Structure 1
Amino acid sequence: MSILGNKSKAFDSLAALAAAAPALQRELGCADTLREILQQPATWQATAALLREPSVLAQRRAMLTPRPAQAVLTGSGSSIYAGECIAPDLQQTLGVPVQAIAAGTLLTHWRGALPPGGGLLISIARSGDSPESTGVVDQLLAHAPDWRHLAITCNAGGRLATQYRGEPRCVALVLDERTNDRSLVMTSSFTNLVLAGSGLGGRADAADWQDGVRRLASCVQRVFERQSGALAAIANRGFERAVYLGSGGALGAAREAALKMLEMTGGRVHTMAETFLGLRHGPMSSLDADTLVVAFLSPDPAVRAYEYDLLRELDRKRLGLARVLVGEGIGADVIGAQDVAVDLGGLAADDDALPLLADVAVGQVLAFFRCLALGGKPDAPAQGVLTRVVESFALHAGGGA
């Protein structure tokens, strides 16, 4: 049952839903998710300002002095996808190897997965209360003493932020409390964690990065105001599959957007995330007439040339129901009659990290409206299956083989 066709045909954009009475938003099960999607432009600017506060600046510099030989980003679910978004950009700014490794992998196989030699482990978490969050830190504090620990979390009261006070190898960076999303799905928490992580390597100290965050906020605000209706319309097209494409760090954004669609629709839309070049190596066979293709386009012209080639190939082979294309200055020849082009005009990004936040925000809006179109409730779309914080489970001694 579609909210757009049944509850009220007026709810065909974010603005229309935001103008609805709070009681109706709660009845529709979208009040928290709607607020948390819409607050992102404002919270991004708050996170950028936080990274420049004297106490946080001193904290960041202390964790990077001496410069670690390497860094690992870790987390679970959306948090590891945030790490995948951050890693390429942070490697460029730090000038040391940086990779993302899932917390579950470190919990069970840290000896084989964690690079030898010590470094900086950056734990990313909304609540900081999932079993893996502190389980990994406890294990490495005991068995890998050459690793320092930085936690980036949205929850000042979570275990990751509170349990290690007084431990000289551990520091916690706590974001604005608004980013501690109440909805089951992570939206503003995800993008603000990515923003905070991408600023660690020194970008946050530069005035042009702060200007870039402001341009990003303005750009995405325009998308919310002017293009959410087009995203709502395509969400009602009846697709049963969605494929998300990204290059470099945008693969992490694609994985997060795919997870949002999967979570918010309770698995009724099957999703896959892949690189543009990787799609040809088998996954392209899954595209059919009911598949939506969501393409996060790189700001790098050389990379985008490869991406355009793939999109033209999909045209020639007549694969997919329609496409959502996200990027600045999208070529008219790759926009089909059934497609939605979300042009990030004015973003003028000079790094790969900031556009990923816009990519993910578009993915959130698309999943939000697809959930509503299917009669679901975005705030709690998988009742009895998923919980906002993963339930406690036993941590077994001897892990890390």
Structure 2
Amino acid sequence: MTKDLLKWATWREIHSQPDIWRRWGATLDVSGLRAWIAALDFDEVWFCGAGTSAYIGDMIAASVKGTRSVPSTDLVADPAFILQGARPLVVSFGRSGNSSESKGTMLALDALAPDAPRLSITCNKDGALATMVSTGPAKVIVLPDATHDAGFAMTSSFSTMLLTALALFDAEADFGTRLNTLADQLENLLPIFAQGGDRPDRAVYVGAGPLAFAAREAALKAMELSAGQMPALWDSTLGFRHGPKSFVTETTAVTVFLSPQDPTHGYDTDLAEELRKQFPRSAVQTIGPGGDIDVSMPFGAAWAAPLCVAAAQVQAVQWAHSLGLNVDDPFSGQATLSRVVADVKLYPVMS
């Protein structure tokens, strides 16, 4: 089956991540960017994006104090309320940088917070995030061309934007060393992830802290690449019992992302054991330190999120392929979803 999957750009892009990370780790000027950020005047760091790009912000804000996730979809919908009295450093993520909300965020800042500094992290040097002129202090980080995924689903773009932002806002560290370590881990894990069993009827991903939002991204990959034919749910480890567990059937694949921290790790493993007892015919799998797929997380959960999500990336491609779908464009012929959401009507910003 693996040989058949090589025809899909999405499959190749998933497997290109280790090499991308290694090269990027040796290239990014982390110290220079940190110095630029340190010289700015702002009250809080906001991470903005839509869809997967918003989940990047969720993962970081769940692990780095003094930061906040503000999805661009929320900011554009009600900019006056969100920006009222705020002076944030707005960090925008965008694979193409051309989504309606990426442009709308920039316009809202121009109108309501023109002096707010901006940092754009994008995979497309020609997109709006990279080229729109800012009214305040601004900097653009353009990731390697290889991260500008050709496939519908964000894969290498997601992981590399997340790791780039962590390098700038998490505890200072040797970025190159960390990326080399993560690249080596993923290279070893990808063949293991590909050994999954038959396609289930539905999927669940859960985790805690930043890994809860990694679970959200994982569930999105399953739904996107299957064109909605694979129902998928995400939740936090402790939140899952409060109603969402009703989604689980005997033919549901459940993946629990294990935190490296205590007591969080204990709650994760307890949930997995509970689900195995209650749904003995379901496939319940743990990924993380001491898990069914043992993944060490020496830098913390947020840095390991791309490793966990990669499992879902691999699974989702396999499931989509087994459904006979065009993995690189699952909605081909439907015209319901597109790779870049760029046709949203933007309304004037009201102060």
* C-alpha RMSD over aligned residues: 2.0
In structure 1, the residue matched to 2:104 is 135
1:386 pairs with 2:351: no
The letter of the residue matching 1:395 is: L
Counterpart of 1:214 (choices 180, 201, 208) is 180
User: Residue 124 of structure 1 aligns to a residue in which SS?
Assistant: strand
In structure 2, the residue matched to 1:169 is 137
Q: Deviations over 1:167-210 (max 9, x none)?
A: 4422111111110001111100000011011111264x523x53
Distance 1:362 1:67, change over 3 A: farther
The letter of the residue matching 1:374 is: L
1:36 pairs with 2:36: no
Distance 1:50 1:115, change over 3 A: farther
| Percent identical | 32
In structure 1, the residue matched to 2:52 is 78
In structure 2, the residue matched to 1:50 is 27
**Matched residues in 2 for 1:271 and 1:215: separation?**
30
Distance 1:202 1:80, change over 3 A: closer
The letter of the residue matching 2:225 is: M
Deviation at 1:343, TM superposition (A): 1.7
1:370 pairs with 2:319: yes
The letter of the residue matching 1:50 is: T
Deviation at 1:102, TM superposition (A): 1.3
Deviation at 1:385, TM superposition (A): 2.2
The letter of the residue matching 2:257 is: F
8 Å contact 1:287–1:320 — kept in the other structure? no
1:103 pairs with 2:69: no
**Matched residues in 2 for 1:326 and 1:355: separation?**
11
Counterpart of 1:323 (choices 280, 284, 298) is 284
Deviation at 1:327, TM superposition (A): 0.7
The letter of the residue matching 2:173 is: A
Gap regions ≥5 residues in structure 1? 1-10, 331-340
In structure 1, the residue matched to 2:81 is 112
1:230 pairs with 2:173: no
User: Residue 263 of structure 2 aligns to a residue in which SS?
Assistant: helix
**Matched residues in 2 for 1:89 and 1:327: separation?**
17
The letter of the residue matching 1:288 is: T
User: Residue 209 of structure 2 aligns to a residue in which SS?
Assistant: coil
8 Å contact 2:276–2:284 — kept in the other structure? no
**Matched residues in 2 for 1:113 and 1:143: separation?**
10
TM normalised by structure 2 equals 0.93
Distance 1:398 1:348, change over 3 A: closer
**Matched residues in 2 for 1:388 and 1:398: separation?**
26
8 Å contact 1:47–1:195 — kept in the other structure? no
Deviation at 1:398, TM superposition (A): 4.0
Q: Which has the larger radius of gyration?
A: 1
**Matched residues in 1 for 2:311 and 2:93: separation?**
22
Q: Deviations over 1:211-262 (max 9, x none)?
A: 232121111101123x14422xx2x24x221111011111221111111100
The letter of the residue matching 2:61 is: A
The letter of the residue matching 1:40 is: Q
In structure 2, the residue matched to 1:307 is 268
Gap regions ≥5 residues in structure 2? none
8 Å contact 2:63–2:209 — kept in the other structure? no
Deviation at 1:282, TM superposition (A): 0.7
